[in-house]
């Protein structure tokens, strides 16, 4: 198989880049609408294209040829092949609030938050960062329990505004919104 008459042979396992981009632009590939958290956008195009490359890596390099073939022929489905990562994860909000946002050498760090608005900012940054490292949802346990002490020092309206800020900032538009799971606040 040759791409052009004068070029070198092309490996049939390689993606057809023009077809990949065209399928996204024309929404003819099922993957365009497969993730409810990912909008149709330039960011979505980038994730979709990169996802096909990564899925092919899994099928060609990680799984056995038999498993790769079974997936390609729809004998079985391997979920989230487009991410070379784990699926979902739960995190300790207590640890984040007590230690701050840190632990990545050479990156910006922040100590334990002293105010609700700082805690909200660290929570959004934490989840947004981790959403790029995991295929599925990220969760905090005991959201209401750990943020309750901040409520005692605030009137209800400003407190609710700050909590709403968390939900708005944790759900950005564009590329892929984090699948954020928290306990509800009554």
The residue ranges of every structural domain in the chain are 1-84, 89-181
pLDDT for 4 equals 42
pLDDT for 28 equals 93
Query: 71-113: per-residue pLDDT in tens?
Result: 999 999 998 898 888 888 999 999 999 999 998 888 888 999 9
Other CB atoms closer than 10 Å to residue 93's CB: what's the count? 22
**181 and 153 in contact (C-beta within 8 Å)?**
no
pLDDT for 97 equals 94
Element (H, E) at 68: helix 65-72
The distance from CA 141 to its chain's CA centroid, rounded to whole angstroms, is 19
Residue 52 exposed, middle or buried by CB count within 10 Å (0-12, 13-18, 19+): buried
Low-confidence ranges of the chain (pLDDT < 70): 1-13, 151-154, 172-186
Among 181, 179, 182, which residue's Cα sits nearest to residue 36?
179
């Amino acid at each position: 198989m040759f791409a052009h008459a004068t070029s070198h042979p092309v490996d049939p396992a390689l993606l057809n880049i023009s077809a990949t981009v065209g399928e996204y632009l024309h929404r003819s590939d099922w993957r365009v609408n497969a993730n409810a958290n990912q909008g149709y956008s330039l960011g979505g195009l980038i994730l979709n294209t990169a996802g096909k490359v990564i899925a092919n890596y899994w099928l060609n390099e990680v799984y056995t040829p038999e498993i790769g073939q079974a997936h390609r022929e729809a004998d079985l489905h391997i979920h989230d092949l487009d991410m070379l990562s784990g699926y979902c994860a739960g995190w300790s909000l207590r640890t984040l609030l007590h230690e701050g946002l840190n632990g990545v050498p050479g990156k910006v760090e922040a100590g334990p938050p002293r105010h609700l608005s700082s805690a909200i900012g660290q929570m959004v940054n934490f989840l947004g960062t981790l959403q790029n490292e995991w295929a599925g949802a990220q969760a905090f346990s005991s959201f209401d329990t750990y943020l309750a002490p901040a409520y005692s020092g605030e009137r209800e309206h400003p407190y609710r505004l700050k909590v709403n800020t968390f939900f708005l900032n944790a759900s950005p538009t564009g590329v892929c919104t984090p699948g954020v799971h928290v306990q509800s606040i009554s």
